[in-house]
Each structure stands twice: as C-alpha cells, then as structure tokens.
Amino acid sequence: MSEASQKPAEPEWLDIGAACEFIGGTRPINPATFYRGVRAGRYPAPEQRGHNVKRVSREKLAAALQRLAAPSS
C-alpha cells in the first residue's frame, strides 16, 4: 500500500453559499435561514478557517441532515 492510501481523507469544507445549496438542493436555502438553523441546533456551526473565512464541514452537515430526516421515536 502506498503512504497516501493510509492517511485519512481530508474533510471537505463548504462556504456558506455552498452549504445552503447542499441543504436545499435545487432550491438553496437563504443564508439567514441557515444561521437560524444553526442557532436552533439543526445545522452545525461554521468554523473559522482563517481570517474572515468560515466554512462548514460537509461530513458534519450530511450527518445533521440525516439526523433531521430520520423518523423520531
């Protein structure tokens, strides 16, 4: 095995616009709606990735959407 195949995959980071598209699909949600969802605990909060750069982990966002889509018992 090569050394590259042994390293864990680097997480993919989405900017707020891409996160809104990821959530809404063909009809992206508004960024204000995204931030309301963050405050309500529906979506993961964006992380500071640099000076004035906030990104959301695609993996965490997908997990949040799965959790929201799962039937509650």
pLDDT at 11: 79
Terminus-to-terminus CA distance in the chain, angstroms? Answer: 44
Domain ranges of the chain: 12-68
- List all residues 6 or more positions away from 31 whose beta carbon is below 8 Å from its beta carbon: 16, 17, 20
**Side-chain-side CA neighbours of residue 9 (13 Å):** 6
Give the CA radius of gyration of the chain. Answer: 14
**pLDDT higher than threshold 90 for residue 10:** no
Residue 53 bridge partners (DSSP): 50
pTM above 0.85, yes or no: no
CB 13 within 8 A of CB 56: yes
pLDDT per residue as tens digits for the range 13-47: 999 999 999 999 999 999 999 999 999 999 999 99
